């Protein structure tokens, strides 16, 4: 198999579709070369070599060496320079990682490779620019020393060792900190000397002088970095399997640091924060690409390039159009200008915020760039949440004291206690605090802190800085480059305009405007919530809402499954319907038992020792339950509702402390000892597997009778009062045996017949069951003889199927995820191989008995995009999830159908 793919000079061995083999970067470098964009030549070593490397004790296929030599030879031919040339301008290369999916900042790039004491002189002579040549050389030793040779901060050191050397030199020679770009050739030459000494001291070896040896080391480091800590943390967070591996790109260098006619930048074809269709991005003159992203100097917006170098700006604007026309998506690209000539170094589909994703998708459909199906497919379903997250409330913001502003890099509002490093941020979040991570700039080391934080605030860096990139991807609120902030890591304070903020104090940041406020600022609902739920904003006043609505309409056109909601109250049902739910998939009746005085009657019911007393207490509950159901049926306006009979074990309703028990005894004129006795009688060793679900209704049929009566009476009354038909779906929980369901169905049917007679009116109703016990799944053919519908209770089916209690899994499940024993958190995303298999069996058996059986899912998983996709594959009729997850589930269901 071919393991090295060349690109450049207007052609390429590979192309943009080969991301699995060439990585995202390599595939798109090839694609850009093919469509005639100016790409420096190079070659890509495939991800299969990475896989081979780890499978064979970190060694390479034997043909690799020759392929690399051939690859370099092609580059030499195109560029006209020789690798390692000591007489004329040498060919220098970058060595860049590139996985299938971009992993921002996770892997390490090495620039200017091929320099040594001789080639640097050749380069200085050939370019007549010694400052530039030595600048490249010292950068090379620094990057190579860090990434390949591992010369990094030792425990206890505050600064990167190379940075310390630079700082010392600047202070010795200039008595102050100067910009890197202001250093002279002599400065860089001296740095090279000191860097080499540092490397020798730290590693015990001289810095490698042979370019081929350098190249080999760099390639090894890229493959090695696939398994470093940072990469592992990132992969886990985004569920990227370790088998994928990374490719390595070796590419001829172009130079943004030759002087004032050169520069580097990062740009987006549209604004990735808002989605607006403008050329967006930033650049630095006289800089190599790393400088832009590292946030050391704050770059200028690309619009400014129109003044500095109009021709380059015009070329880039044209490239912007070409990229969108070709890739049909918003692109995030990296460029370098060398002596006024523009070079493209990377392009990829740009990460964007949820708001931007909706806007870009809608506008691209309008522009005819994509069709609506593509628009639906393109929006990551888990980004929908971002459109529903709070913003600062208008009043609170007027009162709040604005202390700084930066770039709006991740929209939304966040308030939290400030922490200046990732570690303390994580600790505080673990204590339950809401935290903001505030840094000069972030680096991949800060990832854990960023995950823990509500929002991220940096003092330096632009919209393509690490902080902005990661925040956008994680959907975090982020403000970056708020340069008025003076952050003192040692004192753990931020001073700004005469104010001092200490670690642990509150700050608030608005990632939509870029403003930073002192203290804690109250938040208000997002525009979409204001339009749909609060009705405080008219639809035509909100562009975000209009885009959202358009997308949701397309979802309805595409979807096969419908989306229902888990709701126990009229207001929840109304919210879910506003989000497009088509009914209730799970109405938990026990939640209603806790409201107001009802809990008293529930407790009387439980404490009753004689059936008559129990029935008396239960009958007092009837009017409450009935009015609850009426409220819900009215809110649903004829949409279907699945109502689950009482599920939790009874002791959950009894007071557990002595004091509460004494109060209860007083209230009901009972002896406290009797209450205590009953509580201890009801105690269970493992309540999850105890006296709950249909086992309650079997032991106390009067409970089922009351609930069935409440449901049927409510349905008849609402049908009569409102003029739409209510068809309740009565669901029996925790069934394992067909007989259990038979017994419960008989009770329900008997009550229904009684109510029909009393009211002189008949309605349709269904009786079905949860499938949440493996035994039920594997005997679903029998159960379907009685059940008219199944609803997969995947929370319990996961607990019972894996024999793993959700409440106790915290002790070991994280470790299981680390070790990839489980691919995902099984309580958030369905374990498709195991629990999913049980579902598949139940679907097949259920359909065998009852071909048109209605099938749904009502566990937490119903709002998880991967699980929704799986449910579509199984052919379920609907998924059901909490009201605010409905839009996510609709999008996921539509995507699954397309
Ligand atoms: P990352 O994946 O972290 O973005 P890259 O491989 O894209 O890393 O490299 C980082 C930066 O290094 C790029 O943005 C680019 O500016 C610079 N760079 C990489 N290769 C070259 C090259 N051949 N010539 C000039 N600059 C380069
Ligand atoms: Mg890059
Ligand atoms: Mg259950």
Task: Please give the domain boundaries of the chain with CATH numbers for all domains.
Answer: 1-115+210-253 (3.30.1490.20), 117-208 (1.20.80.30), 263-349 (3.30.470.20), 389-524 (3.50.30.10), 559-594+632-648+715-897 (3.20.20.60)
Ligand 1: residues with CB < 6 A are: 40, 94, 96, 105, 109, 111, 251-254, 264, 288-290, 334, 336, 345-346
Q: Of the ligands numbered here, which is closest to the C-alpha atom of 444?
A: 1
Among 76-80, 163-167, 593-597, 761-765, where is mean pLDDT lowest?
A: 593-597
Q: Which of 136, 313, 425, 466 does the annotation list as catalytic?
A: 466
CB 90 within 8 A of CB 133: no
Distance between Cα 556 and ligand 3 center (Å): 29
Tell me: the pLDDT tens digits for 692-738?
A: 999 999 999 999 999 999 999 999 999 999 999 999 999 999 999 99
pLDDT, position 484: 92
CB 852 within 8 A of CB 788: no
Answer yes or no: is 460 a known binding residue: no
Tell me: the pLDDT tens digits for 635-690?
A: 999 999 999 999 998 888 888 888 888 988 888 888 899 888 888 888 888 888 99
Nearest-CA residue for ligand 1 atom 15 is: 289
pLDDT, position 106: 56
Which chain residues have CB less than 5 Å from ligand 2, an ion?
Answer: 346
CB 574 within 8 A of CB 556: no
Distance between Cα 793 and ligand 3 center (Å): 5
**Token duo for residue 876:** 């379920």
pLDDT, position 398: 85
Sign of CA dihedral 862, 865, 870, 876: positive
pLDDT, position 104: 59
CB 678 within 8 A of CB 604: no
Q: Of the ligands numbered here, which is closest to the C-alpha atom of 797?
A: 3
Tell me: the pLDDT tens digits for 402-435?
A: 999 998 888 889 999 999 999 999 999 999 999 9
DSSP string over 713-725: HHHHHHHHHHSS-
Question: Please, which pLDDT band fits residue 232 given cuts at 50, 70 and 90?
Answer: confident
What's the CA gap between 832 and 823, in Å, rounded? 10
Question: Please, which pLDDT band fits residue 382 given cuts at 50, 70 and 90?
Answer: confident
What's the CA gap between 255 and 290, in Å, rounded? 12
Answer yes or no: is 590 a known binding residue: no
pLDDT, position 600: 85
Q: Which of 425, 694, 858, 881 does the annotation list as catalytic?
A: 858
Asked whether this complex has an ipTM greater than 0.90, the answer is yes
Question: Please, which pLDDT band fits residue 295 given cuts at 50, 70 and 90?
Answer: low
Nearest-CA residue for ligand 1 atom 6 is: 96
Answer yes or no: is 291 a known binding residue: no
Distance between Cα 126 and ligand 2 center (Å): 29
What SS3 state is found at 182? helix
pLDDT, position 448: 85
Tell me: the pLDDT tens digits for 536-587?
A: 999 999 999 999 999 999 999 999 999 999 998 899 899 999 999 999 999 9
pLDDT, position 651: 85
Tell me: the pLDDT tens digits for 780-807?
A: 999 999 999 999 999 999 999 999 988 8
Answer yes or no: is 588 a known binding residue: yes
pLDDT, position 472: 73
Q: Closest ligand 1 atom to the C-alpha of 252?
A: 23
Terminal CA-to-CA distance of the chain, rounded, Å?
Answer: 34
Tell me: the pLDDT tens digits for 602-642?
A: 888 888 888 899 999 999 999 999 999 999 999 999 999 99
For 281-329, where are the alpha helices, taking DSSP H only? 289-294, 305-308, 310-327
Distance between Cα 97 and ligand 2 center (Å): 9
Q: Of the ligands numbered here, which is closest to the C-alpha atom of 43?
A: 1
Distance between Cα 254 and ligand 1 center (Å): 10
pLDDT, position 655: 83
Distance between Cα 863 and ligand 2 center (Å): 33
Answer yes or no: is 347 a known binding residue: no
**Cα 823 versus chain centre, distance:** 16
pLDDT, position 608: 87
Tell me: the pLDDT tens digits for 155-181?
A: 888 788 999 999 999 999 999 888 888
pLDDT, position 217: 95
**Token duo for residue 108:** 């390490």
Higher pLDDT, 893 or 351: 893
pLDDT at 445 over 90: no
pLDDT at 444 over 90: no
Task: Report the run of H or E that residue 248 belongs to, with start and end.
Answer: strand 246-252
Q: What share of the chain has pLDDT > 90, as a percent?
A: 73
Write the CB contacts of 468 (distance below 8 Å, at least 6 apart in sequence).
407, 409, 410, 461, 462, 478, 480
CB 477 within 8 A of CB 458: no
Q: Closest ligand 1 atom to the C-alpha of 108?
A: 3
Is 466 among the catalytic positions?
A: yes
Mutation probe of ligand 1 site: the residue of 334, 343, 465 with most atoms within 8 A of C-beta: 334
Nearest-CA residue for ligand 1 atom 8 is: 109
What's the CA gap between 287 and 637, in Å, rounded? 64
**pTM, rounded to two decimals:** 0.84
Tell me: the pLDDT tens digits for 112-122?
A: 999 999 999 99
Sign of CA dihedral 306, 311, 314, 318: negative
Q: Of the ligands numbered here, which is closest to the C-alpha atom of 689?
A: 3
Nearest-CA residue for ligand 1 atom 18 is: 289
Report the mean per-residue pLDDT for the chain: 93
Tell me: the pLDDT tens digits for 133-152?
A: 999 999 999 999 998 999 98
Is 405 among the catalytic positions?
A: no
For the beta carbon of residue 240, count every other beta carbon within 10 angstroms. 17
pLDDT at 771 over 60: yes
């Amino acid at each position: 198999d071919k393991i090295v793919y060349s690109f450049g000079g207007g052609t390429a061995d590979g192309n943009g579709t080969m991301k699995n083999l060439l990585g995202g970067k390599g595939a798109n470098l090839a694609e850009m070369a093919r469509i005639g964009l100016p790409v420096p030549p190079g070659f890509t070593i495939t991800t299969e070599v990475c896989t081979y490397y780890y499978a064979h004790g970190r060694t390479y296929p034997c043909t690799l060496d020759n392929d690399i030599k051939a690859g370099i030879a092609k580059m030499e031919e195109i560029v006209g320079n020789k690798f390692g040339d000591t007489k004329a301008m040498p060919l220098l290369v970058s060595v860049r990682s590139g996985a299938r999916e971009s992993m921002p900042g996770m892997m390490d790039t090495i620039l200017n490779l091929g320099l040594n004491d001789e080639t640097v002189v050749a380069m200085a002579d050939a370019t007549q620019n010694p400052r530039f040549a030595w600048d490249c050389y010292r950068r090379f030793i620094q990057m190579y020393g860090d990434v390949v040779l591992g010369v990094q901060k030792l425990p206890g050191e505050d600064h990167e060792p190379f940075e310390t050397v630079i700082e010392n030199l600047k202070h010795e020679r200039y008595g102050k900190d100067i910009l890197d770009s202001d250093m002279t050739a002599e400065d860089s030459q001296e740095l090279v000397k000191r860097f080499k000494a540092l490397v020798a001291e730290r590693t015990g070896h001289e810095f490698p002088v042979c370019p081929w040896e350098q190249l080999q080391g760099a390639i090894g480091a890229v493959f090695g970095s696939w398994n470093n800590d940072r990469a592992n943390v990132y992969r886990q967070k985004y569920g990227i399997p370790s088998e994928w591996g990374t490719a390595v790109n070796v590419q001829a260098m172009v130079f943004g640091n030759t002087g004032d006619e050169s520069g580097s930048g990062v740009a987006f074809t549209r604004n990735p924060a808002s989605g607006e269709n403008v050329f967006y991005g930033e650049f630095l003159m006289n800089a190599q690409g790393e400088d832009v992203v590292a946030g050391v100097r704050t770059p200028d917006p690309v619009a400014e390039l129109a003044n500095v170098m109009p021709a380059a700006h015009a070329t880039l604007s044209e490239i912007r159009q070409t990229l969108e026309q070709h890739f049909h998506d918003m692109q995030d690209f990296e460029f370098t200008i060398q002596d006024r000539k523009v070079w493209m170094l990377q392009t990829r589909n740009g990460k964007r915020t949820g708001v931007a994703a909706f806007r870009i998708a809608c506008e691209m459909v309008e522009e005819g760039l994509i069709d609506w199906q593509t628009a639906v497919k393109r929006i990551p379903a888990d980004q929908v949440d971002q459109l529903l997250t709070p913003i600062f409330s208008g009043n609170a913001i007027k009162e709040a004291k604005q202390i700084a502003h930066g770039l709006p890099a991740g929209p939304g509002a966040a308030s939290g206690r400030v922490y200046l490093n990732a570690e303390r941020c994580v600790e505080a979040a673990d204590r339950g605090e809401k935290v903001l991570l505030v840094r000069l700039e972030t680096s991949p080391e800060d990832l854990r802190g960023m995950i823990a934080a509500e929002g991220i605030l940096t003092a330096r860096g632009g919209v393509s800085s690490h902080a902005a990139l990661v925040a956008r991807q994680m959907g975090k609120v982020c403000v970056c480059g708020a340069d008025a902030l003076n952050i003192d890591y040692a004192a753990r304070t931020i001073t700004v305009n005469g104010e001092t903020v200490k670690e642990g104090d509150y700050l608030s940041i608005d990632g939509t405007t870029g403003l930073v406020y002192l203290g804690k600022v109250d938040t208000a609902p997002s525009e979409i919530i204001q339009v749909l739920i609060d009705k405080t904003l008219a639809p035509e006043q909100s562009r975000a809402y209009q885009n959202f609505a358009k997308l949701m309409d397309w979802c309805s056109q595409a979807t096969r499954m419908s989306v229902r909601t888990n709701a126990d109250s009229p207001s929840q049902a109304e919210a879910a319907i506003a989000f497009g739910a088509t009914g209730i998939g799970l109405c938990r009746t026990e939640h209603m038992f806790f409201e107001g005085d009802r809990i008293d009657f529930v407790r009387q019911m439980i404490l009753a020792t004689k059936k008559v007393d129990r029935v008396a207490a239960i009958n007092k509950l009837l009017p409450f339950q009935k009015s609850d159901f009426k409220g819900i049926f009215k809110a649903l306006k004829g949409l279907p509702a699945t109502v689950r009979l009482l599920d939790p074990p009874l002791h959950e309703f009894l007071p557990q402390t002595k004091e509460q028990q004494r109060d209860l005894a007083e209230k009901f004129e009972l002896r406290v000892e009797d209450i205590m006795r009953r509580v201890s009688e009801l105690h269970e060793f493992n309540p999850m597997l105890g006296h709950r679900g249909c086992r309650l209704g079997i032991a106390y049929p009067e409970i089922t009778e009351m609930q069935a009566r409440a449901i049927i009476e409510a349905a008849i009354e609402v049908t009569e009062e409102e003029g739409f038909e209510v068809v309740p779906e009565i669901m029996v929980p925790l069934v394992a045996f067909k007989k259990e369901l038979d017994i419960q169905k008989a009770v329900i049917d008997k009550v229904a017949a009684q109510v029909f007679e009393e009211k002189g009116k008949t309605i349709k109703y269904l009786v079905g069951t949860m499938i949440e016990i493996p035994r039920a799944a594997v005997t679903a053919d029998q159960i379907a003889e009685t059940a008219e519908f199944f609803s997969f209770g995947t929370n319990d089916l996961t607990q019972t199927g894996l024999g793993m209690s959700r409440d106790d899994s915290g002790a070991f499940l994280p470790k299981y995820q680390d070790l990839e024993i489980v691919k995902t958190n099984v309580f958030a995303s369905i374990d498709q191989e195991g629990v999913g298999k049980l579902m598949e069996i139940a679907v097949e058996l259920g359909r065998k008995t009852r071909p048109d059986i209605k099938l749904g899912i009502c566990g937490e998983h119903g709002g998880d995009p991967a699980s929704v996709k799986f449910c579509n594959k199984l052919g379920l009729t609907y998924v059901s999830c909490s009201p605010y997850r409905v839009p996510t589930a609709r999008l996921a269901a539509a995507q699954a159908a397309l």
